[in-house]
Structure 1
Amino acid sequence: MALSISSVLLLGIVVVVLFRGKSVKPGPAIACVLFGFSLASTSMAPSINRFMTSMADMIGQIRF
């Protein structure tokens, strides 16, 4: 069975779980989000996107 889920949705769920578990305080989380938005507008964005895509492809090829 193949399951397709957006990495943004998956990471959003992880953030919500960390917030609810009191593992991450709101201040550092906001700083990380702002860093992510800033990073997305740099010249590194295509490289990061290719890396994330290749990692998702690699995970998708794992057979249980």
Structure 2
Amino acid sequence: MRLTVPAVVVLGVLMVVLIRGQRLRGGPAAVAVAFGFQLAHGQAAPAITETCRLVAQLIGRLHL
């Protein structure tokens, strides 16, 4: 069985866990989210997307 989870879901869950555990406050979390949106729509978006795809493929090939 293959499970596919979008990176945005994983990162969103990680942000919620960090905020709830009081390791990341609301202000820095908002800045991180805004920075992510800017990266997604900027000139670096294709390179970031390709890197994420390659990392996901690498993780998918691991047999644990």
Q: Considering the TM-score relative to the shorter chain, is it more than 0.5? A: yes
Unmatched 5+ residue regions in structure 2?
none
Higher normalized contact order (CA 8 Å, seq sep 6+, divided by chain length): 2
Cα separation, 1, equivalents of 2:7 and 2:35: 17
Structure 1 partner of 2:9: 9
Say yes or no: does 1:52 pair with 2:52. yes
Aligned length: 64
TM-score w.r.t. length of structure 1:
0.92
Q: What aligned pairs does 1:12-51 form with structure 2 within 5 A after superposition?
A: 12-51=12-51
Q: TM-score, normalised by structure 2?
A: 0.92
Q: Which stretches of structure 1, 4 residues or more, deviate above 2 A after TM superposition?
A: none
% identity of equivalent residues: 39
